[in-house]
């Protein structure tokens, strides 16, 4: 596929890398860089990186040193927050039976665990309900609310779901079951009936906190309950609960839900990682132990080691496991739950790998037949709905095209379920909603970067044709999605631990606060070898020095093959410091390469 930028304008002239991208050096105002450099005692590198992240001279201190004291919002600036806090405190004082209805992902699990731990300090038990992904789908249903009422629930709190569950909330209203919604998902129209609906993304909310994950909303909610309790002059024996001790759960939910690391989220994660490293939560400690990482100290540990294991229960096993693990204080129970989740994650990886292999084959054949098609749709009988979203993301990352993966079959129901992931500039949620409106599929929607859908297997061919035609209008946006922005040019010799420490001053890294990407030119590759199942490790050398590198999941890919062949390459990646046997060293995680 041709680049939409002239080769001479691309960094190092790279217009078609081994991953099919063109490289451009990110640009920013030199005036902004100078102003930032003056605030940073002449550190031009850090100044440029901050400018590229939209930080100005006045915002440097807050960005580099985010604190809850500075950034924590007024809880009562959230619509319905005070009402919700009053209702929950009433229930705590009255001894009413309260159940939390949680989503089955990490954000739902951390949110429910925050509430469970808060109630426990007051000497109250909190019931738990987590829907089954296959049997019930996402969010509350009328049947679930009826069942909870029959089981004795007098108040239900939904976390990480509920804001769009109009039919379920109308049913709860009809049967007299009060429901408090604590959510963060986008809303349209007037709020559905509820006892209170706290969501920074509801139309009339003025908190300015729409970037929060559900765990962040719940953490602010705990502060609101404490505020109401102080006003009433009441507290449990031993004093009011201190939510700061559970900031690890808030950080974990924020990271795993890919919430943008801006404003208070930066403080949640920066301070929450410190709490997490103390291993005070028995569930997290047990999960870290079975994962082989010891102390949990980094965003990587939380997002890519713990996160997938916590999600595994909701994807291919028991959806209650994560919430139970995060809420328990029993070491033996924590170990048993952690081992179960670890085993389910291994099962999830095996299922995912098999589906990804077949889906990649389908995608490759589709592009061979039509190189200009603007979307990839792969489908298969028996493809588990718990992993199709992950596979869609892998296809999108590999081919730089919007991707939809669909599965159906025995045990999964006769109706096919699909999950979509998109590239910037192509709103996949709107496209799916339009297909549903025209009757091409049964139902579906989502947002710009992700979506979900349902259809009959017989509708697959027509859906593929409709989406291919629809995506023809986005050719420029699809080409732009192949652009790889690079923060700065570096060399192996410059990649010292001191240099990486300067970069780490920008942490935490995540959505909205990306880890800096560096390019290195004319690198000689030596010592290439495969490590693990499909990773490639090698040494990058030039006149300035040597640098250890690893390229994840690149075996038998154009990038991996180029490295193994020992060619002279331009490389792009992220730098990080590792400690091994008491020695601290720098490694580059290579994300792309191109021929010189």
Identify the pLDDT of residue 411.
64
Mark which of 480, 505, 523 sits at the end of a domain: 480
Expressed in percent and rounded to 5, the helix, strand and coil fractions of the chain are 45, 20, 35
Token pair, residue 236, equals 């449990």
**H-run or E-run covering 223:** helix 214-232
Q: Which of 186, 215, 244 is the last residue of a domain?
A: 244
CATH number of domain containing 22: 2.40.50.460
- Among 206, 224, 244, the domain boundary falls at 244
**256 in a domain, yes or no?**
no
CA separation for the pair 143, 85 (Å, rounded): 26
The sheet with strand 127-129 has its strands ordered as 127-129, 98-102, 155-159, 179-182, 196-198
Domain assignment present for 507: yes
Q: Which domain holds residue 374?
A: 370-480
Q: Token digits for 183?
A: 């959510």
Q: Is 559 helix (H, G, I), strand (E, B) or coil?
A: helix
- Are 510 and 543 found together in one domain? yes
The strand ranges marked E within 171-252 are 179-182, 196-198
Question: Which residues are within 8 A (CB) of 6 and not within 5 positions of it... i.e. 6 or more apart?
Answer: 15
Cis peptide before 69 (omega within 30 of 0): no
List Cα–Cα distances, 59 to 47, 64, 252, 266, 271, in angstroms: 12, 9, 25, 13, 19
| 51 in Cβ contact with 36 (< 8 Å) | yes
> Which CATH number covers residue 475?
3.10.310.30
Per-residue pLDDT of the chain (596 residues; tens, 9 = 90+): 333 444 447 999 999 999 999 999 999 999 999 999 999 988 999 999 999 999 999 999 999 999 999 999 999 999 999 999 999 999 999 999 999 999 989 999 999 999 999 999 999 999 999 988 777 777 899 999 999 999 999 999 999 999 989 999 999 999 999 999 999 988 878 899 999 999 999 999 999 999 999 999 999 999 999 999 999 999 999 999 999 999 999 999 999 998 999 999 999 999 999 999 999 999 999 999 999 987 888 999 999 999 999 999 888 878 899 999 999 999 999 999 999 999 999 999 999 999 999 999 999 999 999 998 999 999 999 998 889 999 999 999 999 999 999 999 866 677 899 999 999 889 998 999 999 999 999 998 887 888 889 999 999 999 999 999 999 888 888 888 899 999 999 999 999 999 999 999 999 999 889 999 999 999 999 999 999 888 999 999 999 999 999 999 898 889 999 998 877 999 999 999 987 777 889 999 999 999 99
427 and 543 co-located in one domain:
no
Based on the domain organization, do 76 and 202 belong to the same domain? yes
137 lies in the same domain as 204: yes
Contact assessment for residue 219 and residue 250, using Cβ atoms and an 8 Å cutoff:
yes
| Secondary element (H or E) of residue 333 | helix 331-369
pLDDT given at position 6: 41
Both 93 and 238 in one domain: the answer is yes
Cα(8)–Cα(23) distance, integer angstroms: 11
515 in the same domain as 470? no
Measured in whole angstroms, the distance separating CA 419 from the mean position of its chain's CA atoms is 15
Residues forming a β-bridge with 241: none
Contact 594, 482 (CB under 8 A): no
Q: What pLDDT shows up at residue 248? A: 97
Give the strand pairing for 403-409 and 196-198: unpaired
Residues 441 and 505 placed together within one structural domain of the fold = no
Has residue 224 been placed in a domain?
yes
Q: What are phi and psi of 53, to 5 degrees?
A: -100, 15
Tokens of 559: 């990038």
Whether 18 is in a domain gets the answer yes
- Is 399 in the same domain as 525? no
For residues 240 and 100, state if they share a domain. yes
Same domain, residue pair 107 and 168: yes
Kindly state whether residue 550 falls inside one of the protein's structural domains.
yes
In terms of domains, do 499 and 375 share one? no
Structural tokens at position 166: 């109009």
Ramachandran assignment for 343, one of left (phi > 0), alpha (psi -120 to 50 degrees), beta (any other): alpha
Q: Is 307 within the bounds of a domain?
A: no
Asked, for residue 110, whether it belongs to a domain, the answer is yes
Residues 140 and 160 in one domain: yes
Would you say residue 559 lies in a domain?
Answer: yes
Give yes or no for a contact between 110 and 215, defined as CB atoms under 8 angstroms apart.
yes
Contacts of residue 213, Cβ cutoff 8 Å, sequence gap at least 6: 107, 160, 184, 253, 254, 257, 259, 265
For residue 283, report the phi and psi dihedrals to the nearest 5 degrees: -65, -45
Residue 127 is part of a domain; what is its CATH number? Answer: 3.90.1640.30
Domain tally, the chain: 3
């Amino acid at each position: 596929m041709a680049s939409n930028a002239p080769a001479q304008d691309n960094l190092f002239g790279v217009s078609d890398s081994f991953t099919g991208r063109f490289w451009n050096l990110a640009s920013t105002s030199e005036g902004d860089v100078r102003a930032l450099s003056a605030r940073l005692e002449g550190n031009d590198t850090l100044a440029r990186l901050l400018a590229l992240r939209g930080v100005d001279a006045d915002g440097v201190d807050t960005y580099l040193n985010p604190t809850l004291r500075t950034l924590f919002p007024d809880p009562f600036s959230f619509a319905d927050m005070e009402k919700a806090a009053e209702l929950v405190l009433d229930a705590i004082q009255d001894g009413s039976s309260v159940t939390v209805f949680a989503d089955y992902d990490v954000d739902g699990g951390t949110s429910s665990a925050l509430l469970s731990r808060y109630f426990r300090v007051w000497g109250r038990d909190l019931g738990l309900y987590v829907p089954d992904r296959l049997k019930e789908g996402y969010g509350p249903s009328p049947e679930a609310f009826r069942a909870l009422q029959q089981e004795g629930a007098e108040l239900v709190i939904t976390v990480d779901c509920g804001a769009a569950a109009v039919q379920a909330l109308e049913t709860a209203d009809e049967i007299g079951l009060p429901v408090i919604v604590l959510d963060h998902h986008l809303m349209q129209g007037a709020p559905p009936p509820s006892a209170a609906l706290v969501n920074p993304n509801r139309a009339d909310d003025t908190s300015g906190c729409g970037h929060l994950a559900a765990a962040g909303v719940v953490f602010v909610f705990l502060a609101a309950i404490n505020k109401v309790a102080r006003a009433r002059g009441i507290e449990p024996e031993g004093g009011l609960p201190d939510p700061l001790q559970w900031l690890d759960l808030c950080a974990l939910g924020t990271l795993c839900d890919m919430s943008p690391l801006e404003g208070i989220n930066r403080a949640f994660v920066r301070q929450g990682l410190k709490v997490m490293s103390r291993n005070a939560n028995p569930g997290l400690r047990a999960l870290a132990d079975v994962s082989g990482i010891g102390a949990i100290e980094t965003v990587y540990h939380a997002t890519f080691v713990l996160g997938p294991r916590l999600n595994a229960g909701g994807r291919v096993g028991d959806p209650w496991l994560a919430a139970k693990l995060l809420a328990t204080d029993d070491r033996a129970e924590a170990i048993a739950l952690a081992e179960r989740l670890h085993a389910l994650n291994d099962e999830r990886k095996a299922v995912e790998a098999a589906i990804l292999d077949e889906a990649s084959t389908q995608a490759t054949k589709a592009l061979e037949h039509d190189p200009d098609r603007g979307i990839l749709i792969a489908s298969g009988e028996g493809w588990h709905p718990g992993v199709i979203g992950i596979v869609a993301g892998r296809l999108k990352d590999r081919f730089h095209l919007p991707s939809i993966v669909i599965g159906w079959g025995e045990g999964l129901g006769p109706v096919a379920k699909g999950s979509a992931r998109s590239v910037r500039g192509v709103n996949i949620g709107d496209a799916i909603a339009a297909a549903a409106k025209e009757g091409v599929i049964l139902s579906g929607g989502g947002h710009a970067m992700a979506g979900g859908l349902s259809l009959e297997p017989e509708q697959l061919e027509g859906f593929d044709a409709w989406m291919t035609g629809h995506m023809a209008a986005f050719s420029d946006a699809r080409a732009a999605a192949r652009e790889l922005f690079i923060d700065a040019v570096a060399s192996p010799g410059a990649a010292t631990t001191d240099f990486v420490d300067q970069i780490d001053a920008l942490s935490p890294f995540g959505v909205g606060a990306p880890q800096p990407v560096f390019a290195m030119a004319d690198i000689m590759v030596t010592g290439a070898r495969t490590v693990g199942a499909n990773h490639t490790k090698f040494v990058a050398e030039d006149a300035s020095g040597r640098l250890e590198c690893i390229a994840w999941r690149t075996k038998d890919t154009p990038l991996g093959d180029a490295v193994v062949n020992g060619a002279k390459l331009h490389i792009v990646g992220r730098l990080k410091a590792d400690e091994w046997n008491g020695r601290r060293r720098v490694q580059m995680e290579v994300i792309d390469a191109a021929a010189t």
